[in-house]
Every structure is written in structure tokens, then in C-alpha cells.
């Protein structure tokens, strides 16, 4: 397992590893060999759907040659990455987490992965996902559920739907995991595995070459070891500097009391209160606020996501594949068959209203914060109890509002040593990704 005591090349982030390559301490080829050996030595993690060892190894050797010749593509050069298995990647199959034949729906490799390749990043393989990315626990009864590396002895929820990317990143098998976030699918697994996740603004990262769960809500984002890694990625992809926060004196921090703080696990509540106290000690101004409309996520998501999934998947394909699907995913997707055109359009109109209302709150606050997930990663065995199964499905309670309101958001670890991970969520308006990342980089060392 991930805590076996082996060296973790990315424990301190991408930049220290990149510096060690350029100082001659390690090569790209040695890095790739380490990552592949680490993946293969921990099969219980079950983080990958497929590995592309030979191609990845050859690319790493080619990057070593380039660097020796004086061609440096930047800090992502030679970086082993994992690609969520709803993203097309040249030379690798795409299952979309399903036993149904849906590879044609993802198309060919998209803009994001092509750009990362140009920057020198090397896909090691495709990482596990919840079927069709429709699920928040990380469970996939059809193709297997990854093992959360925070606990070597108990199989705990890895979070979903970007479960494999989170597990592989947290275990030090890769330097970066690519995920998607429609209702929390980057932030929830990042929270459960104790790493950093960035839900990007819708449209900021292109979504071509990616299976579409919801054309309205889908976004692409990274799962990494620290906030600086995500900032580095943002700067490399978009040639936009992430602001360097030197303090947060006078930062107006909105704390929505209704919905986001309801029914928290004791440790999550304690961690969050400690984090708020830390923000206050750093000079931030905490502002209690209310946005009860956040609770509408439970009524609006079923009217938007299932119909959009079925329109992309095709009703006939779904009906033919339904009996072989993960039962929870199949049940949620089937709801789309019952949603009328009027209900769907009314939901989209309501979303527009809520976006405008939420944006108006930023006249009085600079940022919203909340716990990322209301509870700690629970053992899979607990889901045999109906009450616990129902609670597990509430993992997206605090993340879905951010998607619905078109926010960008991040999750930072805030657990104490020796405890299970909990997450601190930062939310900002659409398009404020650089600012959200800059604030995250500043706060991260203070919350650990």
C-alpha cells in the first residue's frame, strides 16, 4: 500500500521533482520506471483500468534525450500522469467505466491531453472511474472500486467519480491525475484521499474527447498533491500567472450557515472550525451568510444531469445496457426517462436565476468556504446498512451547489495527523480560477 515506506517522488509536489531532474539526481526514465513499479507493486489499489508501460517508458527516454540536447519544455516535462477513463487517449481503449461498448462516444484524443503532451507530460494509463462518471462514492460494481490509500486495512470509499486518479495520485503512483467534475467528481475523491482538487470554471478547460455526463455542468480538473501543483498546471496551460498571496488581511470570507454546515461528522466540524479560526488569526474577516437555495441542488440535478446523459448516451443503448450496469448508476440514469422537456427547461431557467443571485453575494464577500464533504470516508462495508448507504450518497451535498452556481472551487486537506482526511472547500465566481488557486496556495500550509 501507499504507506509502505517507499520513496514518494511527488510527496512535496511537482516543482521539487522537476528540480531534481534538472540537477541530475533522477531522470525521466528512472521516474517512469519508479511509477510503473509502484503501480504494479500495489495491485490492491486497483487505480488503473489500463497501463501503457512500453509507450510511456519510451516517451520518458525521449524526454531525457531532449533535455540533454537543451530542449526544456518546462516543469511538466516527463511528468507521469493518469487519465480518467472517460477521456480518449491515443493508443489506449476507453471504457467510460462500463461494460457496455461506448468507446465511440468519447471520440479521439481531445485538446487538454494534446496540450499536456506538448508540454511534455506522459500518460501512464487510464484511471478507474464510476460508470459514466455518474456517482460520488467511487463505487463501480461493473468494473471494480479502487482502494483508498488512507487506510491499509479497511476498504474505504475513494470518492467519485474520478476515483482512480485520486487514488493513484495520493499513493504517489503519478504526479498528476486528470478528472472531471460535474457535481463534485474532482473535489470529493480529492477530499477522501487527502489531496488537492480543482473544479475549474465550466468552459475553462475544453471538453472535447471526453464522455459527456452533462453538457451544462461538466468541467475538467486536476487532482494533485498540493495547491501549487494545480497553480503550476494552470500557468502552463493558459499562460496566466496565478496571483501570489502574501497575506489575507481583510479578506471577506463568506460562511454559508444553512445547508453546508448541517449534519457534519464530529471531526469534520472540528476541522472546519479550526480552519476558520486560522483564517481569522491570519486577518480574514468571517461573514456569516445565508444561501438556502443551495438545497435546490437535490431537485435540480435530477432534472438536468440524467436527461443530458441519456441524450448523449442514446436511449436505446442505455436500455440495452441497463441490466449489466452498476445498479446505482442505472437507477440514477433511468430517471432521465421520466423528465419532460418542460421540466428540463424550467430547471435550466431556475439555474440561471440562482447563478445571478449567488453572484450578487460577492458584493459583500470575496469567497465562500465550507467543508468539502460532510463526513469522513466510510468503509464500503458500512453501505450494507440502508442509513449509511443513503448518507454516502450525500457526499456531493456541499459540492453540487458549486456546479449549479457555475463557481470555480478547490478542496484542500485540513485533517490532523493520525486522522482520516477531511476537506476545506473554497468557492469563487466563474472565471476566478487563478485567484482561487492563489488563495489555495497561500492557505494550504496553514490548514494542515
What is the Cα–Cα distance from 137 to 396, expressed in whole angstroms? 9
Cell 458584493, located at residue: 363
Whole-angstrom Cα Rg for the chain: 21
CB 279 within 8 A of CB 289: no
Question: What are the distances in angstroms from CA 11 to CA 3, 14, 79?
Answer: 12, 8, 14
Q: What pairs with residue 51 in β-bridges? A: 125
* Torsion (CA) 336, 409, 18, 235 in degrees, nearest 10: 100
Which cell is 229 given?
A: 501543483
Active-site residue list: 84, 161, 185
| Strand 196-199 versus strand 122-127 pairing type | unpaired
Q: What whole-number distance in Å separates Cα of residue 7 and Cα of residue 165?
A: 20
Joined together, the cell numbers standing for residue 128 give 478507474
Q: Are 402 and 415 in contact (CB under 8 A)?
A: no
> Cis before residue 261, ω within 30 degrees of 0?
no
Contacts of 404 (CB under 8 A, 6+ apart): 217, 296, 297, 300, 301, 351, 354, 355
285 three-class SS: strand
Which runs of consecutive H residues, i.e. helices, occur in 147-201? 163-170, 187-193
**Closest CA relative to residue 441, chosen from 15, 10, 2, 8:** 15
Amino acid at each position: 500500500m501507499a504507506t509502505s515506506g517507499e520513496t514518494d517522488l511527488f510527496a512535496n509536489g511537482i516543482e521539487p521533482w522537476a528540480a531534481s531532474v534538472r540537477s541530475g539526481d533522477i531522470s525521466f526514465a528512472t521516474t517512469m520506471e519508479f511509477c510503473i513499479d509502484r503501480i504494479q507493486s500495489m495491485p490492491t489499489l486497483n487505480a488503473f483500468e489500463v497501463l501503457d508501460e512500453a509507450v510511456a517508458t519510451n516517451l520518458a527516454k525521449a524526454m531525457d534525450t531532449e533535455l540533454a540536447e537543451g530542449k526544456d519544455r518546462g516543469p511538466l516535462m516527463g511528468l507521469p500522469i493518469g487519465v480518467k477513463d472517460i477521456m480518449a487517449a491515443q493508443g489506449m481503449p476507453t471504457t467510460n467505466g462500463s461494460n457496455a461498448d461506448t468507446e465511440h462516444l468519447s471520440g479521439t484524443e481531445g485538446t487538454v491531453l494534446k496540450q499536456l503532451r506538448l508540454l511534455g507530460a506522459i500518460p501512464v494509463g487510464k484511471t478507474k472511474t464510476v460508470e459514466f462518471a455518474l456517482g460520488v462514492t467511487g463505487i463501480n460494481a461493473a468494473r471494480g472500486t479502487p482502494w483508498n490509500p488512507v487506510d491499509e486495512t479497511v476498504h474505504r470509499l475513494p470518492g467519485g467519480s474520478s476515483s482512480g486518479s485520486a487514488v493513484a495520485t495520493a499513493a504517489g503512483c503519478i504526479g498528476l491525475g486528470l478528472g472531471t467534475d460535474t457535481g463534485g467528481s474532482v473535489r470529493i475523491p480529492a477530499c477522501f484521499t487527502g489531496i488537492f482538487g480543482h473544479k475549474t470554471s465550466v468552459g475553462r478547460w475544453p471538453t472535447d474527447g471526453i464522455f459527456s455526463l452533462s453538457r451544462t455542468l461538466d468541467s475538467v480538473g486536476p487532482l494533485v498533491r498540493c495547491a501549487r501543483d494545480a497553480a503550476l498546471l494552470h500557468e502552463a496551460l493558459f499562460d496566466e500567472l496565478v496571483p501570489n498571496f502574501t497575506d489575507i488581511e481583510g479578506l471577506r470570507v463568506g460562511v454559508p450557515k444553512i445547508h453546508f454546515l448541517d449534519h457534519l461528522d464530529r471531526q469534520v466540524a472540528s476541522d472546519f472550525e479550526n480552519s476558520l479560526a486560522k483564517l481569522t488569526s491570519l486577518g480574514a474577516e468571517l461573514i456569516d451568510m445565508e444561501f438556502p437555495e443551495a438545497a435546490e441542488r437535490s431537485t435540480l440535478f435530477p432534472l438536468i444531469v440524467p436527461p443530458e446523459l441519456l441524450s448523449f448516451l442514446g436511449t436505446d443503448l442505455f436500455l440495452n445496457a441497463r441490466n449489466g450496469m452498476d445498479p446505482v448508476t442505472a437507477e440514477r440514469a433511468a430517471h432521465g426517462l421520466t423528465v419532460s422537456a418542460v421540466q428540463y427547461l424550467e430547471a435550466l431557467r431556475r439555474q440561471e436565476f440562482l447563478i445571478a443571485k449567488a453572484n450578487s453575494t460577492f458584493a459583500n464577500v470575496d469567497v465562500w468556504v465550507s467543508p468539502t464533504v460532510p463526513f469522513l470516508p466510510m468503509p464500503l462495508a458500512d453501505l450494507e446498512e440502508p442509513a449509511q448507504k443513503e448518507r454516502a450518497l450525500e457526499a456531493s451535498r456541499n459540492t453540487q451547489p458549486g456546479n449549479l452556481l457555475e463557481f470555480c472551487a478547490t478542496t484542500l486537506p485540513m485533517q490532523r495527523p493520525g486522522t482520516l482526511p477531511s476537506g476545506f472547500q473554497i468557492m469563487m465566481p466563474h472565471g476566478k480560477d487563478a485567484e482561487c488557486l492563489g488563495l489555495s496556495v497561500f492557505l494550504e500550509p496553514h490548514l494542515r
